[in-house]
């Protein structure tokens, strides 16, 4: 038995090997107080109540004085409160520089931390490797086409002009846009919000380091780990997050592991998509941020080992590759691949070609895009979920979703276009057409409150089902508007952002389930329902990802407030006292959300990174005019020709 914990989150502790149980200290305390209260006589209870009332009256002026001091402690010279010290950023760490002796992962967070100065390698002019893809992209521009103006079905899109009226970084704290919302009194300063995310990261890292070091994922309850590919997935996914958060000691420890322990010469099957977005993407991004060629060398190694996946009759890649043997294959039960998987590896392979000047990586993924562009079976630009690696045709047609198996196809259309300097018109046309397809076929309003949501089409029937995964869409739409796409993309982004937030706050834990079903009939009591099987939360990033984009482009502080609430709820319901955070089974039961004993690598790679960037006031901390995030939140440079 464990004694009740004093922590203010539900403490999940383990009694004995493998057996976890909730130790809900708050509830325990409540029950015990209530029991004692019931044992008192009526006279005793009355006396206590009178005393409490008198104390309240006497202390009222002191309390209000105290609260006033809290709100204007900086101005009031008599206030006993000290002003909140601004977040002082640390000196950047140089590649190879040893960590300072006082920096341990257990240390208290000091104010002397923050983002390092980035390598900015993409900004180097005259680097021949920068020109490989750039020239090709320029060639693709049609003759006579005006710079930055694309026409799609009669609509002229000025791609040089942000339709949200901003350039990333232009919105300053005192701009009119910032006055749209103010942080409520429950919300902290920028410094303390950043610190709260760092604490969440360090708590996760502690669990990973103590129980899963060098393995794929932490199992925080059983204080062990699980393997997927056996390649240190969490560690690699988290590298650039640590760099961005300025966690030097942790970054150096992880880098040492990459240098000495990480090998891809292993007889293991890996999923092409997952290893591309997490491992190749993570290594490329860390190379760009640090300038350390260790990460580029590792990226080349994994990139070349993944290439056998493209050796298929159709050139549409297989889902799995054995990176040791160089043999690829589809899943055992089918020769299909998932559409999102084969169309969401392009940012990474294109960047690998640009850096190495070896065109085969870019050629392989461009071929996939070319084929998918031409395929029949789309519904107004929306794609089915499966594609056959022999025939190169869509299969299992009839289901159209922005959720699982299709989601990042749409994301990568826009992002490849941005990465390449907004010159590859076909990508833009496919993206804009798909968004029109979403509006025409998938967009509906819920009842009673009229939330805009993205449903699915299943064999001609509309289904009001929306995956949490779809919550990447507000961010992507906002990014498009920022890059000159129609202003109504931004309007839609804001509406969907509200819906995604509602998917959190309407749940008893304040955390979103994996899937919701919206009500559309008149007289509905609530806007959304959750089926029993869909009540889990895997610590996914999509909503906080979109909050980050929306805040960057609007500076509306409500998005930060929403992100702050979500972080608090992760802390309350998914934090494990011995280290790490866990996926949960039931977002509707705050007393027992039923932990799953797994911390996904994207919690460190994406969720906490986006929260950190959301709370940072610095628009140059990964500027959206210089970087494009891959679908695992690893920033890759926008190619220099576009800058």
**Distance of closest approach, residue 538 Cβ to ligand DMJ, in angstroms:** 7
217: contact with ligand DMJ by CB under 6 A: no
Contacts of 247 (CB under 8 A, 6+ apart): 113, 198, 201, 202, 205
Q: Is 632 a binder of ligand DMJ (CB under 6 A)?
A: yes
Does residue 537 touch ligand DMJ according to CB under 6 A? no
Q: Which is nearer to ligand DMJ, 132 or 516 (CB)?
A: 516
CB 601, min distance to ligand DMJ, A = 8
Query: Distance between CA atoms of 643 and 625, rounded to whole angstroms?
Result: 8
Could you tell me where the beta strands, DSSP code E, fall in 57-178?
149-152, 155-158
Q: Minimum distance from CB of 613 to ligand DMJ (Å)?
A: 15
Which residue, among 563, 585, 639, has the nearest Cα to 200 in the 3D structure? 563
Which residues in 391-420 are b (16+ Cβ under 10 Å) and which e?
ebbbbebebbbbbebbbbbbbbbbbbbbbb
Strand partners, 458: 399, 461
Nearer residue to ligand DMJ within complex by CB, 10 or 470 = 470
Active site residues: 274, 407, 514, 542
Q: Which residue's CB is nearer to ligand DMJ, number 232 or number 541?
A: 541
Size of the site for ligand DMJ (CB under 6 A): 8
Q: Which of residues 469-488 bind ligand DMJ (CB under 6 A)?
A: 469
* Nearer to ligand DMJ (CB atom), residue 164 or residue 606: 606
Beta-carbon contacts of 182 under 8 Å, excluding residues fewer than 6 positions away, are 557
Taking the mean position of all CA atoms in its chain, how far away is CA 522? 35
Closest separation between CB of residue 408 and ligand DMJ, Å? 5
Smallest distance, Å, CB 299 to ligand DMJ?
Answer: 18
Q: Which residue is nearest to ligand DMJ (CB)?
A: 631
- In this structure, are strands 465-467 and 515-518 parallel, antiparallel, or unpaired? antiparallel
CB 443 within 8 A of CB 435: no
Quote the least distance from Cβ 275 to ligand DMJ, whole Å.
11
Rule CB under 6 A: say whether 408 interacts with ligand DMJ: yes
User: Does 203 sit near ligand DMJ (CB under 6 A)?
Assistant: no
The nearer residue to ligand DMJ, 237 or 430, going by C-beta atoms, is 237
CB closer to ligand DMJ, 549 vs 602: 602
Q: What pairs with residue 23 in β-bridges?
A: 11
Q: What's the length of the chain?
A: 643
Q: What angle do CA 453, 456, 462 make, to 5 degrees?
A: 95
Backbone angles phi, psi at 240, to 5 degrees: -70, -25
Asked if residue 590 binds ligand DMJ (CB under 6 A), the reply is no
Chosen residue from 541, 590, 619, 640 binding ligand DMJ by CB under 6 A: 541
Nearer to ligand DMJ, 264 or 412 (CB): 412
Report the candidate in 421, 450, 411, 413 with the shortest Cα–Cα distance to residue 546: 411
User: DSSP letter at 80?
Assistant: S
Of 122 and 540, which CB lies nearer to ligand DMJ in the complex structure? 540
Minimum distance of ligand DMJ from residue 540's CB (angstroms): 4
Residues 353 to 372 in contact with ligand DMJ, rule: CB under 6 A: none
Reference 309, options 269, 344, 280; nearest CA is 269
Q: In the stretch 410-449, what mask flags binding to ligand DMJ with x, by CB under 6 A?
A: ----------------------------------------
Residue 31 CB partners (closer than 8 Å, separation 6+)? none
The answer to whether the peptide bond before residue 448 is cis (omega within 30 degrees of 0) is: yes
- Label the pairing between strands 399-400 and 11-14: unpaired
| Span 317-336, contacts to ligand DMJ by CB under 6 A | none
Query: CA-based angle 453:456:458, to the nearest 5?
Result: 160
Please spell the DSSP secondary structure of 209-261, one letter per residue: HHH-TTSSEEETTTTEEE-SSSS-HHHHHHHHHHHHHT-HHHHHHHHHHHHHT
Beta carbon nearer to ligand DMJ, 121 or 540: 540
DSSP states of 580-629: -B--BS-TT-SS---B-S-B-HHIIIIIHHHHHHHH---TTTT-TTTEEE
One character per residue 252-291, x = contact with ligand DMJ (rule: CB under 6 A) = ----------------------------------------
SS3 readout for 177-201: HHHHCCCCCCCCCHHHHHHHHHHHH
Q: Do residues 258 and 610 lie in contact, with contact meaning Cβ atoms separated by under 8 Å?
A: no
Q: For ligand DMJ, give the closer residue by CB, 24 or 271.
A: 271
**Which of 24, 314, 419, 631 lies at the binding interface for ligand DMJ (CB under 6 A)?**
631
Candidate list 386, 602, 603, 627; residue touching ligand DMJ; CB under 6 A: 602
| Distance of alpha carbon 195 from alpha carbon 212, whole angstroms | 24
Minimum Å gap between C-beta 294 and ligand DMJ is 24
Taking the complex as a whole, the smallest distance from the CB of residue 633 to ligand DMJ amounts, in Å, to: 7
Residue 540, interface with ligand DMJ (CB under 6 A)?
yes
Minimum CB separation of residue 50 from ligand DMJ in Å reads 55
399 strand-pairing partners: 458
Q: Which residues bind ligand DMJ (CB under 6 A)?
A: 408, 469, 540-541, 602, 606, 631-632
């Amino acid at each position: 038995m464990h004694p009740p914990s004093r922590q203010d989150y539900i403490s999940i502790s383990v009694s004995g090997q493998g057996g976890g149980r909730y130790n809900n200290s708050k509830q325990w305390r409540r029950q015990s107080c209530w029991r004692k209260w019931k044992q008192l006589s009526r006279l005793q209870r009355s006396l206590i109540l009178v005393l409490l009332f008198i104390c309240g009256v006497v202390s009222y002026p002191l309390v209000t004085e105290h609260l006033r001091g809290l709100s204007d402690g900086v101005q009031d010279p008599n206030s006993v409160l000290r002003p909140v010290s601004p977040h002082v950023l640390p000196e950047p760490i140089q590649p190879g520089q040893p960590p300072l002796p006082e920096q341990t992962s257990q240390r208290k967070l000091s104010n002397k931390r923050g983002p390092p100065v980035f390598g900015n390698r993409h900004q180097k002019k005259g680097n021949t490797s920068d020109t490989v893809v750039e020239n090709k992209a320029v060639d693709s521009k049609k003759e006579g086409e005006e710079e930055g103006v694309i026409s799609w079905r009669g609509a002229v899109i000025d791609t040089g002009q942000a339709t949200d009226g901003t350039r990333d970084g232009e919105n300053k704290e005192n701009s009119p846009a910032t006055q749209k919302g103010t942080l409520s009194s429950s919300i902290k300063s920028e410094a303390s919000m950043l610190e709260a995310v760092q604490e969440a990261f360090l708590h996760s890292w502690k669990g990973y380091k103590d129980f899963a070091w060098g393995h794929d994922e932490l199992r925080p309850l059983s204080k062990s780990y699980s393997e997927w590919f056996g390649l240190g997935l969490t560690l690699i996914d988290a590298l650039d997050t640590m760099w961005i958060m300025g966690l030097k000691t942790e970054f150096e420890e992880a880098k040492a592991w990459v240098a000495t322990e990480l090998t891809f010469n292993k007889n293991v099957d890996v999923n092409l998509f997952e290893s591309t977005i997490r491992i190749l993407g993570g290594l490329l991004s860390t190379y760009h941020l640090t300038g350390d060629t260790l990460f580029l060398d590792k990226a080349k190694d994994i990139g070349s080992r993944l290439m056998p996946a493209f050796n298929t009759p159709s050139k549409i890649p297989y889902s799995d590759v054995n990176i040791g043997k160089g043999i690829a294959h589809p899943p055992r039960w089918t020769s299909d691949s998932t559409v999102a998987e084969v169309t969401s590896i392009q940012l990474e392979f294109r960047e690998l070609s640009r850096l190495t000047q070896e065109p085969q990586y870019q050629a392989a993924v461009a071929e996939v895009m070319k084929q998918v562009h031409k395929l029949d079976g789309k519904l107004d630009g929306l794609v089915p979920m499966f594609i056959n690696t022999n025939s190169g045709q869509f299969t299992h047609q009839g289901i159209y979703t922005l959720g699982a198996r299709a989601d990042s196809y749409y994301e990568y259309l826009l992002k490849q276009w941005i990465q390449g300097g907004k010159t590859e018109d076909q990508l833009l046309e496919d993206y804009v057409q798909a968004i029109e397809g979403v509006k025409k076929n998938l967009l509906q309003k819920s009842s009673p409150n009229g939330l805009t949501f993205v449903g699915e089409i299943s064999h001609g029937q509309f289904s009001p089902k929306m995956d949490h995964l779809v919550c990447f869409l507000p961010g992507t739409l906002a990014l498009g508007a920022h890059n000159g796409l129609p202003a109504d993309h931004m309007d839609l982004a804001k509406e969907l952002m509200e819906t995604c937030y509602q998917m959190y706050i309407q749940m008893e834990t304040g955390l979103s389930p994996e899937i919701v079903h919206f009500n559309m009939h008149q007289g509905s009591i609530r806007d959304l329902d959750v089926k029993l099987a869909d009540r889990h939360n895997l610590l996914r990033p999509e909503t906080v990802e979109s909050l980050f984009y929306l805040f960057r482009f609007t500076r509306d502080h409500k998005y930060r407030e929403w992100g702050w609430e979500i972080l608090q709820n992760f802390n309350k319901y998914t934090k494990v006292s011995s280290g790490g955070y866990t996926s949960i089974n039931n977002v509707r039961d705050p007393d027992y959300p039923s932990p799953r004993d797994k911390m996904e690598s994207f919690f460190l790679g994406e969720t906490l990174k986006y929260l950190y960037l959301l709370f940072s006031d610095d628009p140059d901390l990964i500027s959206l005019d210089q970087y494009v995030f891959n679908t695992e939140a690893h920033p890759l440079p926008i190619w220099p020709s576009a800058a």
